[in-house]
């Protein structure tokens, strides 16, 4: 039994290590993005989080299967929050029939995506190393856990003032004809709907 558990832990670490390290070297900015504007988006978004200042975050623009993702680097799994390095990946692969790329989003939607990814980091910073490893395991293998996590992350982003932009981004995904049904289905299963985002935003900021 113990051997089996060790096997799964090693397997998990290998998966995570590939997951992260394989992407580390493709540090490219695309022609369609202004780095200065991107820096401004992040600077502005960071102001909404007062407990993220000392966290090291690297932003990497590269082709992805989703719009964005946020993860600790491999060795950061074994470090305390203040010593960790996190990476935020933003999708630059824009296919005409599947426009889930970050590059083509409006500034407002981009801001919503950044708020969501930074909220993941806020969440990671509340976890010890053991909890973070357990989290990674559950996120990969449990659909229900992934659903609960993404809803929690959307809620954190809304509470930090990204509700309207997150609504615009989510609404764009569902209303665009150039986004595959497969991606919309994935979005529907794991993330908050535009209606839920607005409801939570209004409840938190206007009390209605
Ligand atoms: Zn997320």
148-192, pLDDT tens digit by residue?
999 999 999 999 999 999 999 999 999 988 888 988 999 999 999
Check if the beta carbon of residue 90 is closer than 8 Å to that of residue 60: yes
Distance 163 CA to ligand 1 centre (A): 14
Distance 120 CA to ligand 1 centre (A): 6
Check if the beta carbon of residue 160 is closer than 8 Å to that of residue 48: yes
Distance 139 CA to ligand 1 centre (A): 11
| pTM confidence score | 0.83
Distance 146 CA to ligand 1 centre (A): 9
Q: Report how far residue 98's alpha carbon sits from residue 178's, in angstroms, rounded to the nearest whole number.
A: 5
Check if the beta carbon of residue 113 is closer than 8 Å to that of residue 102: yes
pLDDT higher at 133 or 41: 133
Distance 153 CA to ligand 1 centre (A): 6
Q: Above 50 in pLDDT, residue 204? A: yes
Instruction: Rank 21-25, 31-35, 201-205 by mean pLDDT and report only the highest.
Output: 201-205
- Residue 140 — very low, low, confident or very high, per pLDDT cuts 50/70/90? very high
pLDDT higher at 91 or 31: 91
- Tokens of residue 15, six digits: 């998966």
Q: Report how far residue 10's alpha carbon sits from residue 27's, in angstroms, rounded to the nearest whole number.
A: 28
Distance 95 CA to ligand 1 centre (A): 22
Distance 51 CA to ligand 1 centre (A): 19
Q: Are strands 56-62 and 85-91 parallel, antiparallel or unpaired?
A: parallel
Residues 40-98: tens digit of each pLDDT:
888 888 888 876 667 788 888 888 888 999 999 999 999 998 889 899 999 988 887 77
Distance 4 CA to ligand 1 centre (A): 30
Distance 1 CA to ligand 1 centre (A): 33
Q: Above 60 in pLDDT, residue 15? A: no
Distance 115 CA to ligand 1 centre (A): 10
Distance 66 CA to ligand 1 centre (A): 10
User: What percent of the chain clears pLDDT 70, i.e. is strictly above it?
Assistant: 84
Q: Above 50 in pLDDT, residue 17? A: no
Q: Are strands 68-72 and 56-62 parallel, antiparallel or unpaired?
A: unpaired
Q: Above 70 in pLDDT, residue 4? A: no
Check if the beta carbon of residue 122 is closer than 8 Å to that of residue 53: no
Check if the beta carbon of residue 136 is closer than 8 Å to that of residue 12: yes
């Amino acid at each position: 039994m113990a051997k089996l558990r060790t096997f799964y832990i090693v397997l998990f670490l290998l998966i995570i290590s590939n997951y992260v390290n394989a992407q580390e070297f493709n540090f490219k900015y695309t022609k369609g993005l202004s780095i200065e504007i991107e820096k401004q988006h992040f600077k502005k978004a960071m102001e909404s989080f007062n407990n993220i200042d000392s966290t090291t975050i690297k932003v990497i623009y590269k082709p992805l299967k989703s719009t964005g993702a946020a993860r600790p680097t491999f060795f950061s799994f074994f470090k305390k929050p203040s010593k960790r390095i996190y990476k935020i990946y933003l999708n630059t692969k824009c296919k005409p029939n599947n426009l889930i790329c970050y590059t083509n989003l409006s500034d407002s939607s981009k801001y919503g995506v950044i708020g969501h990814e930074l909220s993941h980091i806020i969440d990671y910073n509340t976890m010890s190393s053991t909890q973070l490893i357990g989290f990674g395991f559950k996120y990969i293998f449990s659909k229900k856990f992934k659903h609960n996590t993404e809803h929690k992350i959307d809620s954190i982003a809304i509470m930090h003032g990204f509700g309207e932009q997150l609504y615009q981004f989510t609404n764009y995904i569902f209303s665009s004809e150039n986004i595959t049904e497969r991606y919309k289905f994935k979005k529907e299963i794991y993330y908050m709907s535009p209606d839920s985002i607005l409801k939570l935003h209004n409840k938190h900021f206007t009390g209605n």
